Chains A and B, each alone.
Chain A
Amino acid sequence: MAYLELDRVAKQFGAQTVVDDFSLSVGKGEFISFLGPSGCGKTTTLQMIAGFLDPTRGAIRLEGKDLTAIHPAKRGLGIVFQSYALFPHMTAAENVAFGLEMRGVPRSERAERVRAALAMVGLAGYEERHPRRMSGGQQQRVALARALVIKPSVLLLDEPLSNLDAKLREEMQIELRQIQRTIGTTTILVTHDQNEAMSLSDRIVVMSQGKIEQIGTPQETYEKPASAFVSQFLGKTNDFAGTIDRTVSPTLLVAGSWRAPAPAGLGGPVTVSIRPERIGFGDTGLSAKIITRIFQGNHWLFQCDSECGPAIVIRQNDGQAQPAEGDAVRLTWRPEDMSVRARADA
């Protein structure tokens, strides 16, 4: 049975629908990411779970109980805010202890749990520091400890890593994942960073304009994007215009001078989506010219001008000789690596 369930949740501000028809069931201990560009409704959805906003329609249930009927202060959820929202007039230990104090945990137990929580996020010895005397990363850890120390039923993370620099962010991602695995708290992360969503979550909810585009594991959403939006938003992708020719037998999928047996079910104009790292250089296929070649250490990035428009190719730096800028090449890929959708505009 679902642990946390959102059932056709919608939120309207005046005439504007910010979240629409949002249904999701989260299993206990699962790590879910809401991924989407800013303004897609992901934070609004999180705030409805937290109780800072009331849904216009739909139901939110936790272990079968209606969560919307419970006051936000009584929901027992742990929340880490983008700005951390630490209490600046309290020390790190007092910040972490606040939630326990509100729950009437006795002083001695409180001190013990605060120490353990700060140690868990790697801040042992920082108990008496004030937040404004800590770095961004340290404040982030205090915020995490403060949310986790109350043993929340669900941990809600609102873009918690977006204020950190790239290196620190990567470290915190790994740490966050380890902590979540260890204590097994059901977690929902709101992010606009696809790498963060992919490296942390069990499942990703891709959102756009208030609607769910796709729910799936990181691999599923990356390999089998359900819509053009998902394939564009998760990683780089090449979209080529093609046609399926049903007049010949066997039927053919044609994109420029690249051709393959057509997949079943579709006909006429289609869009062929293919990830840049799945394209290789061959003797047959889409003819293209290399415009720029960028060396990025472990891989090469090629920007090409193909007969079906611009294309990006990524090749592993495996020691093989690579084509140079200005070379004419043929782009080829295995049919199982592409996804084909009916083209709407034709």
Chain B
Amino acid sequence: MSAAAEERGARAPWALTAPALMLFVGVLLIPLAMTVMLSFHDWGQYKGIEPVFILKNWHEIASDPYYAEMFWRTFRIAILTTLLTALLGAPEAYILNRMSGRWKSFFLLVILGPLLISVVARTLGWALLFGGNNGLVNKLLMSVGAIRSPIPFMFTETGMVVALAHVMMPFMVLSVWAALQRLDPQIENAAMSLGAGPMTIIRRIIMPQIMPGVLSGAIIVFSLSASAFATPAIIGGRRLKVAATLAYDEFLNTLNWPLGAAVATLLLVALVLIVVGSNALIERRYAEVFR
């Protein structure tokens, strides 16, 4: 091959990926860089945004316990949501996998169906059921005398975790389902023939093999829950803010864009660190199962 042709060959991949690369840079990297830069700008009630480099916003986030509380709440809700989806989703996927053909596809549709409905609609459904005195479930339970006052759901962390877990469940089920597909179909029979009972089979044979699926599902659910906006906005509203709703309020209500940008950047960096870190841990721990 001539030197010119070789050079052309080396340049071809770049030329071919250039359009996608430009789109990526244009709509993701540049806005992201601008947000990060924005977080270092100054802002005043009367002067608006001033393009200077100061650490005022970062200092405010670091020193005011209001922000720390907000971030703790965000991650607490994300962790609880992740635990709830794992506790319910993993058995759900296992049962689903054991169903016979027709029922399996039907229930897979039932589980994935909610993905077709907007998050806002799904969360508003919870509000209709449990929203104060007029919530359907609350009304019913109060009329039969089972409870005296409405079940606290709206503007509570519990309510947010329940609604988020509902929204995130398909991601966990799909992830565990994928891990279950990798299982040898005879593996349970093998364990049984060696004398293992049903609980031992699940605990010693199935669980360790689907753990990578549960963990990768957990990463997806955690990062989506921590950055979720619609559900916390509807359930928590102004009274119970999380990082995403806080950033939104800073941008659109206070109009303090630089502070909102700082909150958004911090959430992004924290999530990236957590996700990359736990992913590395999981891959090291489950190297044998992943091979």
**A103 and B195: CB pair below 8 A?**
yes
10 contacts between A and B (CB under 8 A): A73-B195, A83-B186, A85-B187, A86-B190, A88-B291, A98-B191, A98-B204, A99-B194, A132-B288, A150-B194
Asked if A167 is at the interface of the complex by the 8 Å CB criterion, the answer is no
**A81 and B189: CB pair below 8 A?**
yes
In the assembly, what is the distance between CA of A99 and CA of B193, in Å? 8
Asked if B208 is at the interface of the complex by the 8 Å CB criterion, the answer is yes
**B208 and A89: CB pair below 8 A?**
yes
Which chain B residues lie closer than 8 Å to A52 at the CB level? 189, 192
Asked if B136 is at the interface of the complex by the 8 Å CB criterion, the answer is no
Which chain A residues lie closer than 8 Å to B184 at the CB level? 81, 83-86
In the assembly, what is the distance between CA of A99 and CA of B286, in Å? 23
Asked if A117 is at the interface of the complex by the 8 Å CB criterion, the answer is no
Chain A, interface SS category: loop
Residues from 171 to 208 in B contacting A, C-beta threshold 8 Å: 184-187, 189-197, 200, 204-205, 208
In the assembly, what is the distance between CA of A300 and CA of B288, in Å? 50
Give, as a whole number of angstroms, the nearest-CB distance from A190 to chain B: 13
Asked if B274 is at the interface of the complex by the 8 Å CB criterion, the answer is no
Of the residues B194, B289, B291, contact of A102 by C-beta under 8 Å: B194
**A102 and B200: CB pair below 8 A?**
yes
Residues from 88 to 110 in A contacting B, C-beta threshold 8 Å: 88-89, 98-99, 102-103
In the assembly, what is the distance between CA of A133 and CA of B289, in Å? 11
**A150 and B209: CB pair below 8 A?**
no
Asked if A146 is at the interface of the complex by the 8 Å CB criterion, the answer is yes
**B205 and A87: CB pair below 8 A?**
yes
Asked if A267 is at the interface of the complex by the 8 Å CB criterion, the answer is no
CB nearest neighbor in A for B195: A102
Residues from 148 to 192 in B contacting A, C-beta threshold 8 Å: 184-187, 189-192
A: which residues have CB within 8 A of B?
Answer: 50, 52, 72-79, 81-89, 98-99, 102-103, 130, 132-133, 146-147, 150
CB nearest neighbor in B for A79: B193
CB nearest neighbor in A for B193: A79
**A89 and B190: CB pair below 8 A?**
no
Which chain B residues lie closer than 8 Å to A73 at the CB level? 192-197
In the assembly, what is the distance between CA of A90 and CA of B291, in Å? 13
In the assembly, what is the distance between CA of A132 and CA of B196, in Å? 23
**A50 and B193: CB pair below 8 A?**
yes
B: which residues have CB within 8 A of A?
Answer: 184-187, 189-197, 200, 204-205, 208-209, 286, 288-289, 291
**A72 and B200: CB pair below 8 A?**
no
Which chain A residues lie closer than 8 Å to B205 at the CB level? 87
Which chain A residues lie closer than 8 Å to B196 at the CB level? 73, 98, 102
**A50 and B189: CB pair below 8 A?**
yes
In the assembly, what is the distance between CA of A171 and CA of B190, in Å? 25
**A89 and B186: CB pair below 8 A?**
no
In the assembly, what is the distance between CA of A120 and CA of B200, in Å? 28
In the assembly, what is the distance between CA of A22 and CA of B192, in Å? 25
**A79 and B190: CB pair below 8 A?**
yes
Give, as a whole number of angstroms, the nearest-CB distance from B206 to chain A: 10
The 9 closest A-B pairs by CB, nearest first: A102-B195, A99-B194, A85-B190, A85-B186, A89-B208, A130-B288, A79-B193, A132-B291, A81-B186
Which chain B residues lie closer than 8 Å to A132 at the CB level? 288, 291
**A89 and B194: CB pair below 8 A?**
no
Give, as a whole number of angstroms, the nearest-CB distance from A97 to chain B: 10
Which chain B residues lie closer than 8 Å to A98 at the CB level? 191, 194, 196, 204
**A88 and B194: CB pair below 8 A?**
no
- Known contacts A83-B184, A83-B186, A102-B200, A88 near B193 by CB under 8 Å: no
**A89 and B189: CB pair below 8 A?**
no
Which chain B residues lie closer than 8 Å to A146 at the CB level? 194
Which chain B residues lie closer than 8 Å to A88 at the CB level? 209, 288-289, 291
Give, as a whole number of angstroms, the nearest-CB distance from B283 to chain A: 14
**B289 and A89: CB pair below 8 A?**
yes
**B288 and A72: CB pair below 8 A?**
no
**A78 and B288: CB pair below 8 A?**
no
Give, as a whole number of angstroms, the nearest-CB distance from B207 to chain A: 9
Of the residues A76, A81, A103, A130, contact of B190 by C-beta under 8 Å: A81
> 5 more A-B contacts (CB under 8 A) besides A79-B189, A87-B191, A87-B205?
A73-B192, A78-B193, A88-B288, A89-B209, A98-B204
In the assembly, what is the distance between CA of A86 and CA of B184, in Å? 8
Give, as a whole number of angstroms, the nearest-CB distance from B55 to chain A: 48
In the assembly, what is the distance between CA of A88 and CA of B257, in Å? 52
Give, as a whole number of angstroms, the nearest-CB distance from B180 to chain A: 13
- Known contacts A85-B186, A102-B200, A132-B291, A72 near B192 by CB under 8 Å: yes
Which chain A residues lie closer than 8 Å to B286 at the CB level? 89
Which chain B residues lie closer than 8 Å to A79 at the CB level? 189-190, 193
In the assembly, what is the distance between CA of A74 and CA of B29, in Å? 62
